[in-house]
Amino acid sequence: MIRFEGVHKWFGALHVLNDINLHVKPGEVVVVCGPSGSGKSTLIRTINRLEPIQEGKLVVDGMDLLDKRTDINKLRAEIGFVFQQFNLYPHLTVLKNITLAPIKIRKVPPKEAEAQAMALLERVGLPEKRDAHPAQLSGGQQQRVAIARGLAMKPKIMLFDEPTSALDPEMIGEVLQVMKDLAESGMTMMVVTHEMGFAREVSDRIVFMDHGVILETAEPEEFFKNPKHDRAKQFLKQILSPMH
Amino acid sequence: MNYQFDWAVVTSGKYFEWLVSGVVVTVKISVVSIALSFLLGLVIAVMRMSRFRPVYWFAHGYLEFFRNTPLLVQIFFWYFGSYKVLPDAVNQWLNAQGFEFAAAVIALTIYTSAFIAEDIRSGVRSIPKEQMEAARSAGFSYVRSMFYIILPQAVRLTIPPLINQFLNLTKNSSLAMTIGVAELMYQARQVESYTFKGFEAFSAATVVYVGLSFAITGLMTLYDRKVLQPIKVR
């Protein structure tokens, strides 16, 4: 579904992605973790070319991202992207946030798009917010709407870039629950997150990065019980018991 | 000072009707030009932000050219100059609209669109770049992202400078008298010529322009407050 082969990226002199090799299979849930500045957000943003790569090969849903003939808008329509800061469209109601792309890009008739949007709002537990504007919602509610917006395009892949990092602690759970349900429905997901509970419980594989390099790829049990790399051991120790 | 004021000249009878017909033409020119210059301003603003160099340079040249030449010159150019180089079919169509009227609308529209484009562009710059990322991620092209997501937000932020541009346009429409458009200023001048009641005639014109300006400001502010502001843009 997503295949990185020897991918490199630089921001000026900074080598932000260094020889990335990773294959995400359909239906797989992969969590990417690592210290800040490790390149994990950049990694996930290359998948829909919010960040272009400079070297190597990146194939997503059969489309080569470096191939000039690839229709990037078509590919992006197949990939839902959830941002740390939600990035809902503030001038539109919740319902219109969700139906805009299906109506304009997929040419879904408005009535049908609305019915689908309402079904998604039920799924994320916010049907009563259909006519609210984003500014009237809490962070957790906004993020759930953002997930519904992504799902409205019936994507093949969902990408999450630190979806709970901007939330108050008591709102993190509601968002993680929606993501967990989504994972259990068989969606292919790649999630950048510091939520180790989610990683352990929901993911199929954990990718640990530092300084633009994938240092370790392991199943969650293995990763938490028995991290191979020293940097991963140190990271886990700090993130699981920050006081020590 | 033994000037005899005669306000009846401008409040009743034939001369009043002249002034009213002038007001109608002024409103027509202004409304049409406001609508067109806003749309054109949007397009030029988007072109000005394009990363495709030829489009960018075209918009840049357009802005600099039309912002930096006097409106009167542009009106005269369209009225006295353009028909000599335009195709016959276009000239015939313009004549059917009333060529004076068409030339005035074209000049006002193009001139004002340059200013509007710059105002809208500064509105766009204050929309967080993440909005564009969200739109592009959904699969919208750059131009569609602009029109569905960025511009609707930017225009909300641009209302105060837009009011200014629409007021300027309405007042600038008085220059259309120079090419014989029978708008308010033209008619006030006529009344003065026939009656020598210059004070009354131009006072009446002044009052009407102030009234129109208040109406524009009032309508835009109302629209902003009732329709746009309840929708918070951050």
Give residue A239's pLDDT.
86
Helices B99-125 and B88-96, axial angle in degrees (round to 10): 100
Residue B5 lies in a domain: no
Distance CA B3, CA B92 (A): 48
Nearest CA in chain B to A135: B232
Residue of B nearest to A106 (CA): B139
Q: B40 or A68: whose pLDDT is higher? A: B40
Contacts of B3 (CB under 8 A, 6+ apart): B199
pLDDT band at B234 (very low <50, low <70, confident <90, very high): very low
Among A87, A94, A157, pick the best mutation site for testing chain B contact (most B Cβ within 10 A).
Answer: A87
* Alpha carbon distance A51, A122 (integer Å): 33
The DSSP 8-state label assigned to residue B181 in this structure reads -
* A225: its two tokens: 């019980």
DSSP 8-state assignment for residue A49: T
H or E segment and range at residue A33: strand A29-33
* 3-state DSSP assignment of residue B161: helix
Q: What is the pLDDT of residues B119-143, one digit of tens each?
A: 999 999 999 999 999 999 999 999 9
d(CA A183, CA B192): 81
Residue from B129, B150, B136 nearest A50 by CA: B136
Q: What is the pLDDT of residues A218-235, one digit of tens each?
A: 999 999 999 999 999 999
- What pairing do the DSSP bridges indicate for beta strands A55-60 and A2-11? antiparallel
| pLDDT reported for residue B86 | 84
Note whether A89 contacts B: Cβ–Cβ < 8 A.
yes
**Nearest by CB: A100 against B130, B131, B148:** B148
What is the three-class DSSP state of A96?
Answer: helix
pLDDT digits (tens, 9 = 90+) for B187-214: 999 999 999 998 999 999 999 999 999 9
Binary contact (B233, A85; C-beta < 8 A): no
Residue A81 near chain B (CB below 8 Å) = yes
Q: Note down the domain range covering B103.
A: 13-233
Answer whether residue B121 is part of any domain.
Answer: yes
Burial class (CB in 10 A: 0-12, 13-18, 19+), A130: middle
Q: Residue B22: inside a domain, yes or no? A: yes
At B154, which CATH number?
1.10.3720.10
The answer to the question of residue B139 being in a domain is yes
Closest CA–CA distance from residue B153 to any residue of chain A (Å): 6
Quote the crossing angle between the two packed helices A139-151 and A94-104, to the nearest 10°.
Answer: 20
Q: Is the dihedral of CA A155, A159, A164, A165 positive or negative?
A: negative
Residues from B in contact with A at Cβ < 8 Å = 130-131, 133-141, 144, 148-149, 152-153, 156, 230-234
Determine the pLDDT at residue B232. Answer: 54
Q: Kindly give the pairing relationship between strand A2-11 and strand A14-24.
A: antiparallel
Per-position DSSP letters for A4-31, written without gaps between them: EEEEEEEETTEEEEEEEEEEEPTT-EEE
**pLDDT beneath 50: ranges in chain A:** none
Q: How confident is the model at residue B231, as a pLDDT?
A: 60
Q: Closest by alpha carbon to A39, among A134, A161, A152?
A: A161
Q: How far apart are CA A145 and CA A163, in angstroms?
A: 12
**B137 located within any domain:** yes
Query: Is residue B6 domain-resident?
Result: no
Model confidence, pTM: 0.84
Query: Comparing C-alpha atoms, which of A137, A135, A136, A117 is closest to residue A127?
Result: A117
Number of folded domains in chain B?
A: 1
- On whether any CB of chain B is under 8 Å from the CB of A190, the answer is no
pLDDT per residue as tens digits for the range B56-115: 999 999 999 999 999 999 999 999 988 888 888 888 888 887 889 999 999 999 999 999
A52 interfacial to chain B (CB closer than 8 Å): no
In a domain, B189, yes or no: yes
Report the C-alpha gap between B169 and A186 in whole angstroms. Answer: 59
Determine the residue of chain B that is closest to A86 in CA distance. B134
CB–CB of B144 and A83 under 8 A? no
A101 and B138: CB-CB below 8 Å? yes
A47 interfaces chain B, CB cutoff of 8 Å = no
**ipTM surpasses 0.90:** yes
Q: Quick check: is B226 in a domain?
A: yes
